[in-house]
Amino acid sequence: MTSRDERSDAPRVVLTTAPDEDTADRLARGLVDAGLAACVNLVPGVRSIYRWQGEVASDPEVLLVAKTVAERVPEIEAWLAEHHPYDCPECVALEVASVEAAYLAWLRASVGNGALQ
């Protein structure tokens, strides 16, 4: 795999945050249930410091780390826009440098076109 894998089934890690664990759990389950992510890790205890509407804010959040493939990223972005409580939910997709072969096969099978059939 190259560092710029443009294949539609290239692995991606998508980051987003949620205001609390209940919301994070709902979002994570929704992404997996919809076949958009194979797995979502919830990382509680994150504090985000950010600029919003001209002010610097600081809030506790839960980080969601979703494993998916490139072709699902736009769908995740649209899904988050519809289901996330934030006006402007984070959706940052990262390219993956290396993935163990068996995990990658499971990932692709979990979010591929036939995952929900």
Q: Residue ranges per domain, the chain? A: 15-111
Strand partners, 51: 56
Helix 21-33 vs helix 73-83: crossing angle, to nearest 10: 140
**Res. 109: pLDDT tops 60:** yes
Please report the pLDDT score of residue 84 as a whole number.
97
Cα(67)–Cα(40) distance, rounded to whole angstroms? 6
pLDDT at residue 113 greater than cutoff 70: no
Residues 23-51: tens digit of each pLDDT: 999 999 999 999 999 999 999 999 999 99
Per-residue tokens: 60: 């506790």
Distance between CA atoms of 97 and 52, rounded to whole angstroms? 32
Order of strands, sheet of 11-18, starting from the edge strand that comes earlier in the sequence: 39-52, 55-69, 11-18, 92-95
Which has the higher per-residue pLDDT, 117 or 14?
14
User: pTM for the full model?
Assistant: 0.90
Q: How confident is the model at residue 115 (pLDDT cuts 50, 70, 90)?
A: low
The domain made up of 15-111 has a fold known as: Alpha-Beta Plaits (3.30.70)
